Chain A
Amino acid sequence: MQANPDGGKHRTKQPTNSMTTGAADAGRSPLPDPPYWQGAAVVGLYRLGFLVLLILAWFWASQSVQRNIIPTPWATAEAAVKLIGEGRLPDALLSSLSVYFSGYLAAAICAIPIGLLMGAMRPVGKTLDVFVFALSATPRVAFIPLIIVLLGLGPQAKIFVVFLGAVMPIIINTYAGVLAADDELIEMARSVGAGKGRIFLRIVLPGALPFVVVGLRIGATIGLINTVVAELYTAVTGLGGLLAVYGNTFRMAEYFVIVLTLALIGVVVTEILRLIETRLGRWRQRS
């Protein structure tokens, strides 16, 4: 559909509007709507301020805790430059990301159809959901010895650990999304003569989409955790491997670099998914 012009219009029109009313006849509308980017800029500023505060706290902690357990921000930055220059950080990052994304992608590809199937065919869903819930409640670390026995210590085992962590929340949320389908809309669709396929494609699926994205977001977080867990418990590689090496040898500046890198991955991935979420839910917010 021609949905795009509307969204664009809405955004570009707002700032110009408030500018003209503000300059020409300020008396008519005493409080023009602030342009949308102003709010975003303010939030950005607050975030930046909080970041500065965090770094200050970090600096203070590094000075007051003894025996150099906490490195200074400056030492950490230096370590980061060194690690990047030596290629250790990029190598580890690449290795971790490939494990992470392989496992996560496989999880998404498997979980979404399973969740949809469970929701669309009630007997299948009712049969399986207890087992899915049971499996998702079991700490996945418990399976690692078994996975090592079956798949060894290599990348397959790591990818499988990530997969196992990410797959459950995606299945459960997709399933919940299909079950949450609006019965009134389904009845409306039936009344205009829509068949099962059209109802699923145009009513149930779009209705479930926000749930699926929530599942993907939770899955992404757990997947990242499991990436590090897998790297610590199987062959020690990637960011998890560096974490273990630097942690065990008390090279705290390098260790901090790895921790911050992991945090950054988490932020980037979840922000991307949140962006997708708000774009999909655009119709919801305008009123």
Chain B
Amino acid sequence: MSAGGLPRDTAASVAQAVLLEGVSKSFRSGKGSRTEALRDVTLSVPEGKFVTLLGPSGCGKTTLLRIVDGLIAPDIGRVEVYGSAPRPGPDIGLVFQSFRLIPWLTAQANVEFALRSLALSRPDRQAQAHEYLGLVGLTGFAQAYPAELSGGMKQRVALARALACEPRILLMDEPFASIDAQTRELMQVELMRLWARRKSAVLFVTHSVDEAIVLSDQIVLLGPRPGRVVESLDVDLDRPRWAYDTRSDARYVELRRYLSARMRDLVLADPQSEFFQREPTSTETAAPENEPTASGR
């Protein structure tokens, strides 16, 4: 971990939305053998910050999110969400790559399904679901079934479902990975607008370098097999980022070049990757002269 040390004092840990310390997790895979999904992961998400976990496949990103949501427990290590052990519920919103809408319910009913965990009256629940569907631009599709919606619209419904509970932290597991490139960019802007409205903490998982830079305040680079924190960097691009051409900003370009090279190295150094040692690593080809401020926080 080249990242700077995380604050360890308890006073600081209260201001953290998410705090993971020395988290490891392995799964049984086949006969007696175990796959290590995460090894000694330490990271934090400050309140109101957008943190992205960036890493190639096989770095345990999804496992990490499920641990933060409280769906599974780590083998060892400490997990805290707003100072206490996480429990799945309306306080933690989770958005999945595969949308996971209930196919026999309308968009409206899908959002209401999540709201049932809150003590709301039926009219309040309906009103709130309607409001959040409107927020993601789907007022006209409230009575549509998921099969009638496009991929982007499905993810909007899923986003509305997660946001409708007004969670204190939003976890997003490659939410735009199965959406076409055009829609993805628009969805990123949409997400930024929604987030700017009410800045909850966000822990966003992606394997796209561009997506990570465009969205985040901080990027945590994860390495594969076992999943571990490699590096943590701040993204100091001005917000709102939809207001200007972020991608041509010098800092963006620099960060992108650096992260892409790191990502490639991680894949090439991964013995289980099909690209293992297929190419010389970037440290041999391109001199890493202008590394950005990789100091982390």
Measured CB to CB, the residues of A under 8 A from B are 1-3, 5-6, 184-185, 187-194, 198, 202-203, 206, 283-287
Q: Which A residues touch B87, using CB under 8 A?
A: 193
Binary interface encoding of chain B residues 62-73 relative to chain A, with 1 for a CB under 8 A from any of its CBs, else 0 = 000000010100
Whether B113 contacts A192 by the Cβ 8 Å rule is yes
- B88: which of A184, A190, A206 is its contact (CB, 8 Å)? A190
Give B99-141 interface residues, CB cut-off 8 Å to A: 100, 102-106, 108-109, 113-114, 116-117
Contact flag A187-B71 (CB < 8 Å), given A193-B117, A206-B104: yes
Chain B: CB-nearest residue to A287: B147
Whether A283 contacts B104 by the Cβ 8 Å rule is yes
A-contacting 9-mer, from B20-28, B47-55, B90-98, B217-225: B90-98
Whether A1 contacts B106 by the Cβ 8 Å rule is yes
Q: Give 5 A-B pairs besides A1-B108, A191-B71, A192-B89 with Cβ atoms closer than 8 angstroms.
A: A2-B143, A5-B143, A6-B106, A185-B102, A187-B100
Q: Which A residues touch B116, using CB under 8 A?
A: 194, 198
- B113: which of A2, A184, A202, A286 is its contact (CB, 8 Å)? A202
CA distance A272 to B96 in the complex (A): 39
CA distance A194 to B88 in the complex (A): 9
CA distance A6 to B108 in the complex (A): 13
- B103: which of A1, A187, A189, A284 is its contact (CB, 8 Å)? A284
CA distance A187 to B102 in the complex (A): 12
Measured CB to CB, the residues of B under 8 A from A are 69, 71, 87-90, 92, 94, 96, 98, 100, 102-106, 108-109, 113-114, 116-117, 143, 145-148, 161, 165
Contact flag A3-B71 (CB < 8 Å), given A191-B94, A283-B145: no
CA distance A45 to B41 in the complex (A): 69
Q: Which A residues touch B114, using CB under 8 A?
A: 192
Chain A: CB-nearest residue to B158: A188
Whether A286 contacts B88 by the Cβ 8 Å rule is no
Whether B98 contacts A192 by the Cβ 8 Å rule is no
Whether A185 contacts B100 by the Cβ 8 Å rule is yes
Chain A: CB-nearest residue to B90: A193
Whether A184 contacts B98 by the Cβ 8 Å rule is yes
13 A-B pairs in the complex with CB atoms less than 8 angstroms apart: A1-B106, A1-B108, A5-B143, A185-B100, A187-B71, A188-B94, A189-B113, A193-B88, A194-B117, A206-B104, A283-B103, A285-B147, A287-B147
Q: Which A residues touch B71, using CB under 8 A?
A: 187, 190-191
Whether A193 contacts B100 by the Cβ 8 Å rule is no
- B100: which of A2, A188, A284 is its contact (CB, 8 Å)? A188
Whether B94 contacts A203 by the Cβ 8 Å rule is no
Whether A3 contacts B106 by the Cβ 8 Å rule is yes
- A286: which of B89, B147, B165 is its contact (CB, 8 Å)? B147
- A184: which of B100, B106, B146 is its contact (CB, 8 Å)? B100
Q: Which B residues touch A1, using CB under 8 A?
A: 105-106, 108-109
CA distance A151 to B71 in the complex (A): 53
Whether A202 contacts B106 by the Cβ 8 Å rule is no
Contact flag A192-B88 (CB < 8 Å), given A1-B109, A187-B71, A287-B147: yes
Q: Which B residues touch A187, using CB under 8 A?
A: 71, 100
Q: Which A residues touch B104, using CB under 8 A?
A: 206, 283
CA distance A192 to B69 in the complex (A): 10
Closest A-B pairs by Cβ, 5 of them: A193-B89, A193-B117, A188-B100, A192-B114, A191-B94
Q: Which B residues touch A2, using CB under 8 A?
A: 143
Whether B90 contacts A287 by the Cβ 8 Å rule is no
Whether B89 contacts A188 by the Cβ 8 Å rule is no
Whether B102 contacts A192 by the Cβ 8 Å rule is no
CA distance A275 to B192 in the complex (A): 46
Report the minimal beta-carbon distance from B94 to chain A, rounded to whole angstroms. Answer: 4
Chain B: CB-nearest residue to A285: B147
Chain B: CB-nearest residue to A198: B116
Report the minimal beta-carbon distance from A26 to chain B, rounded to whole angstroms. Answer: 28
Q: Which B residues touch A184, using CB under 8 A?
A: 96, 98, 100
Q: Which A residues touch B98, using CB under 8 A?
A: 184
Report the minimal beta-carbon distance from B172 to chain A, rounded to whole angstroms. Answer: 12
CA distance A194 to B100 in the complex (A): 15
Contact flag A192-B106 (CB < 8 Å), given A185-B100, A187-B71, A286-B145: no
Q: Which B residues touch A5, using CB under 8 A?
A: 143
CA distance A5 to B142 in the complex (A): 13
CA distance A283 to B100 in the complex (A): 15
Chain B: CB-nearest residue to A6: B143
Q: Which A residues touch B89, using CB under 8 A?
A: 192-193
Contact flag A191-B145 (CB < 8 Å), given A185-B102, A202-B113: no
